[in-house]
Amino acid sequence: MIKKSDRTGLTGTSASPGLRIENCGEPHNIFLQTHQVAEKVAEGELDSGFAIVRPPGHHAEADEAMGFCLFNNVAVAASYLLNERPDLGIKKILIVDWDVHHGNGTQKMFWKDPRVLFFSVHRHEYGGFYPAGDDGYYSMVGEGTGEGFNINVPWEHGRCGDADYLAAWDHILIPVAKEFNPDIILLSAGFDAAIGHPLGGCRVFTFANQSF
């Protein structure tokens, strides 16, 4: 989703075309890529946009596709705004990833970049849950000038629900986001933490995702 709030907001999980854009309450089905939607929000042409397309993107790394992800769509959009369209004045981007799996690809792409604050809340299982390893651990905070701009909230078991996610929002994400004061927010909105998902194992209700 891309949304211009007091500053701006974006949510999207695909570089593939086929996006539903909402502006002033009127939905339009158009043929755009995620970075193009982000561009339109940054330009003020749209208030917000939501990508309802496949494949997702947050596992894809710079030189490797993985986890059903071919291209890291949100990372492409962020890089495009920061590096290809400096005229738009987007200098700081918050990327929020609430997919049940850690956004390893997005994390690696902005590991040393203080212009991007990456926040991921995910099931971790002490490194045993996909994509496995230590990348999703809370101690992974970035490196160099990017140190402190990478935040992981790892669940070490399944069954986490609305109260857990909202607590992470209230006590970690929102205070940090207010201090960071981003120009635009990109959201990797995977819904596999929803109750009943066969792989996620968490218990988030749909209305809670809407309230996020």
pLDDT in tens, 65-88: 999 999 899 999 999 999 999 999
Q: Which two tokens stand for residue 172?
A: 């970690």
Cite the active site residues: 59
Q: Which two tokens stand for residue 138?
A: 């809370």
pLDDT in tens, the chain (212 residues): 655 555 433 333 333 334 443 333 444 444 467 888 899 999 999 888 887 767 779 999 999 999 999 989 999 999 999 999 999 999 999 999 999 999 999 999 999 999 999 999 999 999 999 999 999 999 999 999 999 999 999 999 988 999 999 999 999 999 999 999 999 999 998 889 999 999 899 989 864 556 65
| Topology given in CATH for the domain delimited by 23-188 | Arginase; Chain A (3.40.800)
Is residue 7 within 8 Å of residue 183, measured between CB atoms?
yes
- 3-state SS of 68-136 is CECCCHHHHHHHHHHHHCHHHCCCCEEEEECCCCCCHHHHHHCCCCCCEEEEEEEECHHHCCCCCCCCC
Cα dihedral 158/164/166/172 (nearest 10):
-100
Is residue 13 within 8 Å of residue 38, measured between CB atoms?
no
